Amino acid sequence: MVYLYAYTNFKDGLDSLRRVASIYWFLEKKGIKAEILLNEYRAQLLAKEWGLPLATTIETIKDIDAVATNSDIILIDSPELIEGKVLNYPNKFKEIIYINSSCKKAEFKGATVLNLFDDGIIFPSLKSSEKLDKTIFIFGDSDYNKTILKISENFKNKKIDLYWGIYFFVKYEDKLLDIFDKIVESEDYYNAINSYKNVITSSIQIAIDAKLNGANVAFLSQLRENSCNLKKLEDYNIKLIDNIELINKINYQKLNNINYTDMNNQIYNIIINNM
């Protein structure tokens, strides 16, 4: 059995799940069965809305061995520390594939470590659709500090839609409906990145997902901590905006002639070759 573990958490969001979803659909096309492991029930239910099978929930990366057996292949996409008994996973299981989305070198002896951007990128290949001549703001999956409300005046009267993250606070919607044109629910994520002409986000994975499915994308770099991966977004002609007040003056860039599908297949092929 192949297990795909995605770290899901109300503070860190669902970017790991987005990558695991793309890997799951790729494996499915290849006739390889896989099961998904997540950390909590809301992500479990949303994944099912996205078209994935019902996942198994576990508490942390250290609980993978409570589900998987020695003959299983485990793919891990998680920022959790590689420590304790997790260090022995490459000896315990048939194969460990580790997706490293951080800027730091991953120390995971015996595992096949895949570094995002350096070894390739992961994104869903969605069926092309006609784009709405509108802009959607996909801040992310959670807004613990109510950042959207703090910067909301910059979106007022601009006819911009808002993606409603799964971990947004209850009753938060009432305040934001006065600012944004329309609320798009989290279960409609894939339709959103595939149907809007323009996407503004502060998530690296969402930026990649949307751009590689034909959207114009601007990344609000001031809304997240500095990351070495931010500059790599410019390689995909994703516009970095370091001042929220500039959203009205975004000059979106078209994709260059690089074959990004090859970069997608590159990392998928490494995964397949280690199964």
112-126 pLDDT, tens per residue?
Answer: 999 988 888 899 989
- Is residue 256 scored above 60 in pLDDT? no
Pair 49, 68: CB distance under 8 Å = no
Q: Which of 99-103, 114-118, 189-193, 226-230 is most confident?
A: 189-193
Pair 7, 77: CB distance under 8 Å = yes
**In percent, how much of the chain has pLDDT > 90?**
58
Options 1.10.3720.10, 3.30.470.20, 3.40.50.2000, 3.90.950.20; which CATH number does 132-249 get? 3.40.50.2000
- Is residue 249 scored above 70 in pLDDT? no
- Is residue 221 scored above 90 in pLDDT? no
Higher pLDDT, 138 or 229: 138
**Residue 151: which of 162, 166, 167, 135 has the closest Cα?**
162
Mean pLDDT computed over 258-266: 61
Q: Which two tokens stand for residue 231?
A: 């500059």
Q: Provide CATH code, domain 2-115.
A: 3.40.50
Query: CB neighbours (10 Å) of residue 84?
Result: 9
Mean pLDDT computed over 60-75: 97
Going from the C-alpha of 253 to that of each of 90, 217, 256, the distances in angstroms are: 42, 8, 9
Displacement of CA 74 from its chain's centroid (Å): 19
Tens digit of pLDDT for each residue in 88-115?
999 999 999 999 998 888 889 999 999 9
pLDDT of residue 94: 97
Domain ranges of the chain: 2-115, 132-249
pLDDT of residue 4: 98
- Is residue 191 scored above 70 in pLDDT? yes
**Which residues partner with 271 through β-bridges?**
none
pLDDT of residue 156: 84
Please, which pLDDT band fits residue 142 given cuts at 50, 70 and 90? very high
Pair 173, 149: CB distance under 8 Å = no
> Do 2-115 and 132-249 come out as alike in CATH topology?
yes
Record the pTM. 0.92
pLDDT of residue 12: 85
- What H or E segment, with its residue span, contains residue 164? strand 160-164
Tell the residue number behind the tokens 């601009």, with chain if given. 158
Please, which pLDDT band fits residue 262 given cuts at 50, 70 and 90? low
C-alpha 264/C-alpha 19 separation (Å) is: 11
DSSP SS3 for 200:
strand
Pair 8, 80: CB distance under 8 Å = no
Question: Which has the minimum average pLDDT: 23-37, 159-173, 226-240?
Answer: 226-240
What's the mean per-residue pLDDT of the chain?
88
Pair 55, 35: CB distance under 8 Å = yes
Q: How far apart are the first and last CA of the chain?
A: 10
